[in-house]
Amino acid sequence: MAVSAGVVLVACACGPEKAKEDGSAKPSQPSVSTSTKEPSAAPPAHTGPEKPSAAPTGNQPAPRTKERAIQRYEQYLHGLGREDIDTVCEVAGPGAKKAQDQGFGPCTSTYVIVFQMISPEQKKALQTATVDPQRVVVHSLDKIEMPLEAVRTSATFTESDLGSYTLEYLKNDYYITDGK
């Protein structure tokens, strides 16, 4: 039932390349018209606080900050809890690539097994997990350690369940590069 950090990191094999959006594709500008626009009857699509994006917008790099590293790690934890393979593989890409180079399969097939190793209670807890910034170890703004003790959830996790991770700033954002 345990999900070790090694299994999680080794089980995924995708990279940040898949998350890149084509910044060159831009919508065409509509031509100027003399007709008047009717006001929309639909309510605004978003009424709550803005949820941070999983990827930097456009061609702009994500901020190189402890807060952004924490945000990315929380995205990974929430992705684990929701069984969101795209998010998990996006954030864990470089570490997963190392695992793939060691003979493990692609993320989309191997993470199915990892998801089955997480109990329903742990999955639910991971969906709202947060990280205590006071327990995060900043080696440099390029390399930040997320120890297990920094993860705050309603469920209990051990090193063999979840483990600790290193995030590094690569390709304009933070990615998991190593797990213990």
Contacts of 123 (CB under 8 A, 6+ apart): 80, 81, 82, 83, 115
Give the residue carrying structure tokens 């709202």: 128
Task: Give residue 106's pLDDT.
Answer: 81
Give the residue carrying structure tokens 């992705």: 79
Task: Give residue 161's pLDDT.
Answer: 82
With cut-offs at 50, 70 and 90, classify the pLDDT of residue 56.
low
**Residue 142 is assigned to a structural domain of this protein:** yes
**Residue 147 above 70 pLDDT?**
yes
Question: Which has more confidence, 166 or 93?
Answer: 166
**Residue 37 is assigned to a structural domain of this protein:** no
Q: Which helix (H) or strand (E) holds 157?
A: none
Per-residue pLDDT of 63-121, as tens digits, reads 999 999 999 999 999 999 999 999 999 998 888 778 778 888 887 777 778 899 899 99
**Residue 175 is assigned to a structural domain of this protein:** yes
Task: Give residue 42's pLDDT.
Answer: 39
**Residue 90 is assigned to a structural domain of this protein:** yes
Domain range enclosing 96: 5-17+60-179
Contacts of 48 (CB under 8 A, 6+ apart): none
Task: Give residue 58's pLDDT.
Answer: 59
**Residue 21 above 90 pLDDT?**
no
Contacts of 163 (CB under 8 A, 6+ apart): 4, 5, 6, 8, 148, 179, 180
User: Dihedral (C-alpha) 28, 29, 31, 37: value to the nearest 10 degrees?
Assistant: 120
- Please tell me the distance from the alpha carbon of residue 129 to that of residue 69, in angstroms, as a whole number: 14
Number of domains in the chain: 1
Task: Give residue 148's pLDDT.
Answer: 96
**Residue 109 is assigned to a structural domain of this protein:** yes
**Residue 55 is assigned to a structural domain of this protein:** no
61-97 burial: b if 16+ Cβ within 10 Å, else e: ebbeebebbbbbbbbbbbbbbebbbebbbbbbbbbbb
Instruction: Give the sheet arrangement for strand 143-146, strand by strand.
Output: 137-140, 143-146, 165-170, 173-179
Per-residue pLDDT of 68-79, as tens digits, reads 999 999 999 999
